[in-house]
Homo-oligomer: A and B are copies of this chain.
Amino acid sequence: MVRYKAVISYDGTLFVGFQRQSQGRSVQEELEKTLQKLNSGQPVQVHGAGRTDSGVHAYGQVVHFDLPQVRDEEKLRFGLDTQSPEDIDVISIEQVSDDFHARYNKHNKTYEFLVDIGRPKNPMMRYYATHYPYPVNVELIQEAIKDLLGEHDFTGFTAAGTSVKNKVRTITHASVEVDIKTGFLIFTFSGTGFLYKQIRNMVGTLLKIGNGRMPVSQIQAVLEARDRNLAGPTAAGNGLYLKEVIYRDSL
C-alpha cells in the first residue's frame, strides 16, 4: 500500500463534523466515498488530524489514506477535489512514508475563531463567524489571553464528561486582533493539541471578560480551579476554523 497525505479545506456548515457519524453528512464519509470511486470501488479509510465539530470550518485539515498503487499526485488531487462535493476542496496531496499518521504523529495545530461584533451583523458571514452583539473591550481580552499561554491543565475549559484522562495541554500562541477591514475579532490559538470544545469555551470566557462581565483574572481562576462552571459559555462552532496542521518533522 502507498500512503498519501492531503491538505483539505471545507465549509463546515452542512456537515455534522469531520468524523463519520451514524446520522448525517461528514467530511470523512464524503472523502471516503470519492476515494472509493477513484480506487476501482474498493473502500479507502480516511484519517484526519482533528475531529472538527458540526459547523466548524477548515482551511488546512490534514488527512491520510492508503491506496494500492502509486498515483500521480496532481492527478489524484484533481480527481479528489473535483469529484468531492463543492463544500470540500483538496489543496495538495503528497506521497508520505508508511509511518505517517495524520492524527498520531506529533504536530502543532493552529485554529482561528472569528467573532462578528458589528450591530447589526454581516448576513454574508452568519455561518462563518459567531455574532456577539455586545460591547467588547479588546484590550481586556488581550490582557487575559496571555494567561492561556504555556502548559496548563485545561479541565475547566473542556466539556464536562470528556473521556480523555490527561487534560494537560500546551498553548504556544494565543492572540486576538481586530480585523481592519471587517471589524471582526480574530482569535488565533496554536498548540500541540486541544481538548473537546476547549477553544470554543476559551473564546466564550474571553468574550465575557471583554464585555466586563468577568474579571481579567478569570482565565487564571478557571485554570487553577479546573472548574467548567467558572468559565463562560461555549461559543458557537460556526466561528471556528482549523487553519493549519504542522508536523514536528517539518517544523
Contact = CB atoms under 8 A, between A and B. Distances in A.
A32 to B, nearest CB: 18
A57 B122 CA distance: 11
Contact of A87 (B11, B87, B123): B123
Interface string A187-204: 000000000000000000
Query: Within the oligomer, what is the number of copies of this chain?
Result: 2
B121 A89 contact: yes
Interface residues of A, number: 20
Contacts of A52: none
A59 B123 CA distance: 9
A125 B121 CA distance: 18
Interface in A99-152: 120-124, 126, 128
A81 B9 contact: no
A157 interface: no
Contact of A123 (B88, B123, B124): B88
A151 to B, nearest CB: 32
Contacts of A91: 120
Contacts of A122: 9, 59, 89
B126 A11 contact: yes
Contacts of A120: 9, 81, 89-91
Contact of A86 (B57, B90, B123, B128): B123
Contacts of A121: 89
Nearest to A11: B123
12 contacts: A9-B120, A9-B123, A9-B124, A10-B123, A11-B124, A86-B123, A89-B120, A89-B121, A89-B122, A90-B120, A124-B128, A181-B181
